[in-house]
């Protein structure tokens, strides 16, 4: 399939590029140094309609398609993965509402999210339940018109600043007493307690938290789908958002490659640019080929999601695993081209290397992606 971008997608790419160069590039290193959430960049992204990309037009968004989302995330990630997480996190935290919400729920939550007036988080992972969703321990017990939620969540992006969270819990069937995974739209309030901010090696401009939920009330009206639909919803969300993680990886690989090419042109040894050395040329060529392959696979996976292709889950897993593994390789190669300079904060490849590692881990480790891919190929029973 030819992925020559149409005029609308090219215009999106150019507008995001311009915004990133104006607002993000001058501060990318600073954000890594000081951490925290850059509210001014969030406002710029809201005003520039970047945060509206994950949402359908009828709820104030620009379409809600995966391919435009991948293109925008890639452009931001070339400069700062921390800032790209603003867009990826807003998509991840809201996707369950878009996928499984009633019309009333969509009208209630999505317009403010699309405007950037409110922020979203995705509350799935727990201390003892990451890839194994069935092992969730957080419970939601019906009490009149509310669920009373008790438990803890771990590694929640923007858990400290989000206004709403798509929260995965175990509900109890009153007839069979069976516990089922369900999904609630939780609105911040009493009982939503941030117990810890994680100190990470990378993406320091994106906050990650541990949450303790104690007698936390969520209206029954905020249940997405039916009780017991949570596992299916969680998997549908990840099928969509994994292409965003792949796009982060592609963007970072391209950013590192661009840095290495510029360095190879300008850095002199024995009076000549190191880019004249065949060994450097071979390395740059390999980095270029692999980055282009990852980009094509990522765009294909996003396009398959937008077309509701039956293989979209397998392709999103392929894109996420391939691109994130590739990013570590390409960024490592860029550091090698820069030599000792690549190991210092003078150049962004040092930060990119630290930021890229988590892409092999979050939204399902790459080992899990390989299981998803293999089982898709082998069929039921494996």
Strand partners, 154: none
* CA 151 to chain CA centroid, nearest Å: 24
Instruction: With a cut of 90, say whether residue 185 has pLDDT above it.
Output: yes
Q: Is 170 found in the same domain as 186?
A: yes
1: in domain:
no
Confirm if 360 and 248 have CB atoms less than 8 A apart: no
User: Annotated catalytic, 47?
Assistant: no
Q: Is 148 found in the same domain as 78?
A: no
Task: Kindly indicate the confidence band of residue 285, based on its pLDDT and cuts at 50, 70 and 90.
Answer: very high
Boundary (domain end) residue, out of 114, 146, 176: 114
Catalytic residue among 187, 210, 363, 367: 363
pTM, entire model: 0.95
Q: What is the mean pLDDT of the chain?
A: 95
Q: Is 49 found in the same domain as 146?
A: no
Q: Is 351 found in the same domain as 239?
A: yes
User: pLDDT digit string (tens) for 90-135?
Assistant: 999 999 999 999 999 999 999 999 999 999 999 999 988 877 888 8
Q: Is 133 found in the same domain as 100?
A: no
Residue 246: give the domain boundaries.
231-378
- State the pLDDT at residue 100: 98
β pairing state of 164-172 and 179-187: antiparallel
Instruction: With a cut of 60, say whether residue 232 has pLDDT above it.
Output: yes
Q: Is 153 found in the same domain as 16?
A: no
User: pLDDT digit string (tens) for 194-206?
Assistant: 999 999 999 999 9
337: in domain:
yes
- The CATH number linked to 189 is 2.40.110.10
326: in domain:
yes
User: pLDDT digit string (tens) for 309-357?
Assistant: 999 999 999 999 999 999 999 999 999 999 999 999 999 999 999 999 9
- State the pLDDT at residue 1: 46
* CA 147 to chain CA centroid, nearest Å: 29
- The CATH number linked to 83 is 1.10.540.10
Instruction: With a cut of 70, say whether residue 2 has pLDDT above it.
Output: no
Our count of domains for the chain comes to 3
Instruction: With a cut of 70, say whether residue 208 has pLDDT above it.
Output: yes
| Overall residue count recorded for the chain in this entry | 382
- State the pLDDT at residue 21: 96
Instruction: With a cut of 70, say whether residue 58 has pLDDT above it.
Output: yes
Instruction: With a cut of 90, say whether residue 36 has pLDDT above it.
Output: no
Boundary (domain end) residue, out of 79, 114, 149: 114
Q: Work out the percent of the chain whose per-residue pLDDT is above 70.
A: 99
- State the pLDDT at residue 3: 63
- The CATH number linked to 317 is 1.20.140.10
Boundary (domain end) residue, out of 200, 215, 230: 230
Q: Is 241 found in the same domain as 280?
A: yes
2: in domain:
no
- State the pLDDT at residue 169: 97
136: in domain:
yes
Exposure string for 225-246, b = 16+ CB within 10 A, e = fewer: bebebbbebbebbbbbbbbbbb
- State the pLDDT at residue 271: 94
Q: Is 364 found in the same domain as 250?
A: yes
Q: Is 108 found in the same domain as 31?
A: yes
Q: Is 312 found in the same domain as 292?
A: yes
- State the pLDDT at residue 128: 85
- State the pLDDT at residue 173: 77
216: in domain:
yes
Q: Is 236 found in the same domain as 226?
A: no
Q: Is 86 found in the same domain as 35?
A: yes
**Residue with tokens 């039916």, as numbered in its chain:** 226
């Amino acid at each position: 399939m030819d992925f020559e971008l149409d005029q609308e997608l090219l215009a999106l790419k150019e507008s995001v590029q311009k915004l990133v160069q104006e607002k993000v590039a001058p501060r990318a290193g600073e954000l890594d140094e000081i951490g925290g959430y850059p509210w001014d960049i969030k406002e710029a992204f809201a005003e520039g309609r970047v945060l509206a990309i994950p949402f359908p037009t009828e709820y104030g968004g620009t379409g809600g398609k995966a391919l435009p989302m991948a293109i925008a995330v890639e452009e931001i990630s070339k400069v700062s993965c921390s800032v790209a997480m603003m867009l990826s996190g807003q998509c991840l935290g809201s996707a369950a509402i878009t996928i499984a919400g009633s019309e009333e729920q969509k009208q209630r939550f999505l317009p403010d999210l699309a405007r950037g007036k409110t922020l979203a988080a995705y509350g799935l992972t727990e201390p003892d339940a990451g890839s194994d969703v069935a092992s969730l321990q957080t419970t939601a017990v019906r009490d009149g018109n509310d669920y009373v939620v008790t438990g803890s969540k771990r590694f929640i992006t923007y858990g400290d600043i989000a206004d709403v969270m798509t929260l995965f819990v175990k509900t109890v069937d009153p007839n069979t007493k069976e516990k089922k995974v369900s999904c609630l739209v939780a609105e911040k309030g009493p009982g939503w307690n941030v117990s810890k901010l994680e100190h990470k090696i990378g993406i320091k401009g994106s906050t990650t938290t541990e949450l303790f939920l104690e007698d936390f009330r969520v209206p029954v009206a905020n249940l997405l789908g039916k009780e017991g639909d949570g596992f299916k919803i969680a998997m549908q969300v990840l099928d969509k958002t994994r292409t965003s993680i792949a796009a982060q990886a592609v963007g970072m690989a391209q950013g590192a490659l661009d840095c290495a090419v510029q360095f190879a042109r300008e850095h002199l040894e024995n009076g000549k640019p190191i880019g004249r050395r065949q060994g450097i040329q071979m390395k740059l060529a390999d980095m270029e080929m692999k980055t282009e392959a990852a980009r094509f696979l990522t765009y294909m996976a996003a396009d398959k999601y937008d077309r509701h292709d039956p293989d979209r889950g397998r392709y999103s897993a392929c894109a996420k695993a391939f691109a994130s593994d590739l990013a570590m390789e390409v960024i490592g190669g860029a550091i090698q081209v820069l030599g000792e300079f690549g190991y210092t904060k003078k150049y962004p490849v040092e930060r990119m290397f630290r930021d890229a590692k988590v892409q092999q881990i979050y939204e399902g480790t790459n080992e899990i992606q390989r299981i998803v891919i293999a089982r898709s190929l082998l069929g039921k029973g494996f």
